Amino acid sequence: MSQSTDGQLCYGILFEEGYEFPWGEEDPEDWYDKVRGFKSTYYSQIYTPEGEYLNGKKPSKDLFDKHFDEEREFKKLHPMPFELVNYCSGDYPMYILAIPSTVKSASRGYPEVIDFKEIVFPPDELGAFKDFCNTHGFDAMEAKWYLSSYCG
């Protein structure tokens, strides 16, 4: 058994261990889909309100495909304005709320070339990040470049 160690570079806001994000224990992507108003037209044909299969039966592949196609299309139109970068470990996570296109990583033994001339903030991505921060109480002015590591 081995342990991975990754080097990471990103532009974002650093948070200390134990910080409570607005999504709490919920998956950030699921939370963000709800914030953005996603509601699958097929969900109630697949699941009960408790999240179990409707009538205790696994639905058809066709119904699942329609549900996930709808979800993928929504995510394409409403991409996440941030990526969570764990800068500590799986057991003791600490996060950077980062602009997605700035996140670069390299695993031990596999160095990556970083061409800083290619790292730009797409205006729509930077704007979405700032809007997200303003809406949810984060100070986008605190964003900085971080070189970090992850041990998992």
Q: Tell me: do 72 and 90 sit in the same domain.
A: no
SS3 at position 151: strand
Q: Tell me: do 134 and 97 sit in the same domain.
A: yes
Number of domains in the chain: 2
Q: Tell me: do 89 and 127 sit in the same domain.
A: yes
Q: Tell me: do 87 and 147 sit in the same domain.
A: yes
Q: Mean pLDDT throughout 52-73?
A: 91
What's the confidence (pLDDT) of residue 98? 97
pLDDT tens, residue by residue, 64-116? 999 999 999 999 999 999 999 999 998 899 999 999 999 999 998 899 998 88
Q: Tell me: do 10 and 85 sit in the same domain.
A: yes
Residue 34 lies in a domain: no
Residue 28 lies in a domain: no
pLDDT at 1 > cutoff 60: no
Q: Report the distance separating Cα 84 and Cα 63, nearest Å.
A: 31
- What letter does residue 109 receive in the DSSP assignment? T
pLDDT tens, residue by residue, 2-51? 677 899 999 999 999 999 999 999 999 999 998 998 888 998 899 998 88
Q: Report the distance separating Cα 123 and Cα 55, nearest Å.
A: 47
Q: Decide which of 53, 77, 101 is a domain's last residue.
A: 77
Q: Which of 81, 89, 100 is nearest to 32 (CA)?
A: 81
Residue 133 lies in a domain: yes
Q: Tell me: do 102 and 121 sit in the same domain.
A: yes
Domain range for 62: 39-77
Q: Tell me: do 45 and 118 sit in the same domain.
A: no
Q: Tell me: do 99 and 130 sit in the same domain.
A: yes
pLDDT tens, residue by residue, 112-150? 998 888 888 888 999 999 999 999 999 999 999 999 999
What's the confidence (pLDDT) of residue 148? 96
Q: Tell me: do 12 and 85 sit in the same domain.
A: yes
Predicted TM-score (pTM) of this structure? 0.83
Q: Tell me: do 104 and 119 sit in the same domain.
A: yes
* 150 CB neighbour count, 10 Å cutoff: 19
